[in-house]
């Protein structure tokens, strides 16, 4: 079966794996992992420049935004106003309109504050942003985000950075059934098999940061994730067998001696 | 320049002193910030980077200069 192309807001991307650029030991380690991951979208955050150390290395010196799509996020924002301010600044740096909205409601579990997230999606869409939305795995809220103009639905698998893997497969499957928008698992992936499972559930892509950045060998884990996403996607498209409670012999009994 | 004529501003949460009629462009140049990699807010309003040479800083101005860092 030929796969349809991975398209977000009418732009085609080659890789279904999106990677984050946070938590790496160094920019060079980050750049190396991104390369092996094959990702063509990376998430980035907006923060104050260090005015006392003018020669400090910058992310943009290591990861060329002309070669890879920067997806500015709103990490650390707790209100729609914070998120909008952050993304307006991101847009001003270099014209980015495709953004990742992430409005948190709790500093400990890092769950999304969905009322503010929905409000932000509406406001940002009106301003011309193409909003990919980090959200909980609630199908009703996912529908509301879609109606508000989101260009991608990005439910969590588990809390950000937890590495717990997909906790609620049923909800992800229901969201898959109801939306034609790109569905991307964002947060909670721990190992390559989690990424495969996400793709086997019918997701269009996976966003991974901590599981790669904090692995003992980030570059190798990045490659594992790349292969897992490809593998899971192919598995999904190939039409799996029906699960059976009992065995079914692979070898015929015909001609048995 | 007499110290009394200096103007206090805040840049990224830190106090700085500048001379009168100092422009936003002079500030960015002084801080050696690459314009294509930053965004600037003056008193919570985003500033068009093409206009910074026309903006003179005033006492108490709050400037934020941001860039991209690693994030998830």
User: Measured between alpha carbons, how far apart are the two ends of chain B, in Å?
Assistant: 47
Q: The domain containing residue A194 runs over which residues? A: 14-237
Residue A76 lies in a domain: yes
Can you give the pTM of this predicted structure? 0.93
Nearest to B70 by CA among A48, A23, A215: A23
Residue of chain B whose alpha carbon sits nearest to that of A92? B39
Percent of chain B past pLDDT 70, that is, above it, reads 94
At residue A3, the pLDDT reads 84
Please list every residue in chain A whose beta carbon sits closer than 8 Å to the beta carbon of residue B52: none
Residue A5 lies in a domain: no
At residue A2, the pLDDT reads 76
Please list every residue in chain A whose beta carbon sits closer than 8 Å to the beta carbon of residue B28: none
Distance of alpha carbon A143 from alpha carbon B35, whole angstroms: 40
Please list every residue in chain A whose beta carbon sits closer than 8 Å to the beta carbon of residue B27: none
Compute the nearest-CA separation of B72 from chain A (Å).
4
Residue A153 lies in a domain: yes
Q: Which residues of B touch A (CB under 8 A)?
A: 11-14, 31-33, 36-41, 44, 46, 49, 64-72
pLDDT of residue B4 exceeding 80: no
Contact A93 B37 (CB under 8 A): yes
Looking at residue A169, which CATH number applies to its domain? 3.20.20.70
The reply to whether A67 belongs to the active site is no
Percent of chain A past pLDDT 70, that is, above it, reads 100
Domain total of chain A: 1
pLDDT of residue B2 exceeding 70: no
Single out the catalytic residue among A100, A143, A226, A254.
A100
Please list every residue in chain B whose beta carbon sits closer than 8 Å to the beta carbon of residue A70: 68
- What is the ipTM for the molecules in this complex? 0.91
Q: What is the CA radius of gyration of chain A?
A: 20
Query: Residues, chain B, total?
Result: 72
Q: What SS3 class is residue A83?
A: helix
Q: Are B67 and A60 in contact (CB under 8 A)?
A: yes
Buried b (16+ CB within 10 A) or exposed e, A212-244: bbebeebbebbbbbbebbbbbbeebeeeeeeee
Residue A119 lies in a domain: yes
Least CB–CB distance from A47: residue in B14, B46, B69: B69
**Mean pLDDT, range A125-149, rounded to an integer:** 97
DSSP state at residue B27: H
At residue B3, the pLDDT reads 61
**Mean pLDDT, range A249-257, rounded to an integer:** 93
At residue A94, the pLDDT reads 81
């Amino acid at each position: 079966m030929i796969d349809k192309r991975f398209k977000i807001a009418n732009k085609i991307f080659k890789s279904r794996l999106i990677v984050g650029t946070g938590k790496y030991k160094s920019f060079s380690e980050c750049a190396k992992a991104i390369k092996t991951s094959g990702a063509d979208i990376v998430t980035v955050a907006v923060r104050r420049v260090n005015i006392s150390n003018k020669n400090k290395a910058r992310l943009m010196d290591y990861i060329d935004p002309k070669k890879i799509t920067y997806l500015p996020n709103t990490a650390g924002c707790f209100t729609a106003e914070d998120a909008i301010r952050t993304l307006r600044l991101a847009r001003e740096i270099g014209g980015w309109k495709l953004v990742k909205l992430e409005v948190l409601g709790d500093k400990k579990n890092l769950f999304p504050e969905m009322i503010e997230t929905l409000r932000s999606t509406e406001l940002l869409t009106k301003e011309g942003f193409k909003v990919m939305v980090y959200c909980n795995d609630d199908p009703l809220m996912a529908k509301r985000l879609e109606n508000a103009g989101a260009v991608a639905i990005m439910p969590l698998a588990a809390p950000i950075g937890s590495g717990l893997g997909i906790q609620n497969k049923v909800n992800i499957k229901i969201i898959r059934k109801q939306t034609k928008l790109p569905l991307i698992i964002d947060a909670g992936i721990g190992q390559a098999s989690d990424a495969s499972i996400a793709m086997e559930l019918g997701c269009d892509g996976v966003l991974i940061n901590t599981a790669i950045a904090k692995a003992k060998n980030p570059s190798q884990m990045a490659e594992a994730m790349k292969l897992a996403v490809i593998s899971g996607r192919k598995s999904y498209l190939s039409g799996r067998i029906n699960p059976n409670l009992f065995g079914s012999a692979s070898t015929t009994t015909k001609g048995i001696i | 320049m007499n110290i009394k004529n200096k103007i206090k501003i805040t840049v990224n949460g830190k106090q700085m002193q500048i001379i009168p009629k100092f422009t936003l462009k002079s500030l960015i140049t002084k801080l050696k910030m690459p314009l294509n990699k930053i965004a600037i807010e003056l008193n919570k309003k985003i500033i068009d980077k093409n206009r910074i040479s026309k903006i003179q800083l005033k006492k108490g101005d709050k400037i934020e200069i941001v860039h991209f860092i690693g994030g998830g």
